[in-house]
Chains A and B, each alone.
Chain A
């Protein structure tokens, strides 16, 4: 099993450009998450999904959109990138909610630099 994979690993964007980050998991997990990690601030939840076809806002959703058309994939979109979106983006998945089933498994991350 590959676990959680993310593409791309690294990307440089100019302000105003758009891009999509792809997350895939092969563990048949129901829940998927997108986080950003910035120095000194820890992981902050952008959006999450509790199942195929559903999405919900997290702590810092502005400037991002997501889609979960297939259970194994969770896409994060930036419509018009801003320098404030320079960060490391992590995708995660969990079996479900509650107890140890909520243990999240993380992808390797995507480093995004917006100039």
Chain B
């Protein structure tokens, strides 16, 4: 599999901003996905980056630097419902099955 690193846990206050970093090592990078997974539920798609730069979707933004093998997911104006695990997944064309997932970052939002 791929070497994909994310912090295990993060805690933040309601209304604040949290940045979840993801670093990866791959020989055939061709895109990066972020998924959200609430406890006991299925992962759901949040964002996709294939070119360097920032993609913004409402309160969520995702950034990619291909030269640094680095991405982050930015969650703004945190709400209690944002408490979940956030999964970074990398598409690698040198890999037969293409998409590899990180272990996920559990974000806890406190009142």
- A residues near B (Cβ < 8 Å) are 4, 40-45, 48, 56, 58-59, 90, 97-100, 102-109
Contacts and interface: CB of A to CB of B under 8 A. Distances in A.
B45 A99 contact: no
Given A44-B1, A90-B42, A103 B87 contact: no
B102 A42 contact: yes
Contact of B43 (A58, A90, A99): A90
Contact of B97 (A58, A99, A105): A58
B56 to A, nearest CB: 16
Interface string B74-103: 000000000000010101000011111111
Interface of B: 1, 4, 8, 30-31, 33, 41-45, 48, 50, 87, 89, 91, 96-104
B31 A99 contact: yes
Nearest to A46: B97
B87 to A, nearest CB: 7
Given A106-B42, A108-B41, A42 B101 contact: yes
Contacts of B48: 99-100, 103
A109 B101 CA distance: 17
A59 B103 contact: no
Interface centre among B43, B44, B50 (most CB of A within 10 A): B43
B87 A42 contact: yes
Contact of B42 (A59, A98, A100, A108): A108
A41 B103 contact: yes
B28 to A, nearest CB: 13
A103 B33 contact: yes
A59 B48 CA distance: 23
User: Which of A42, A45, A97 has the most CB atoms of chain B within a 10 A radius of its CB?
Assistant: A42
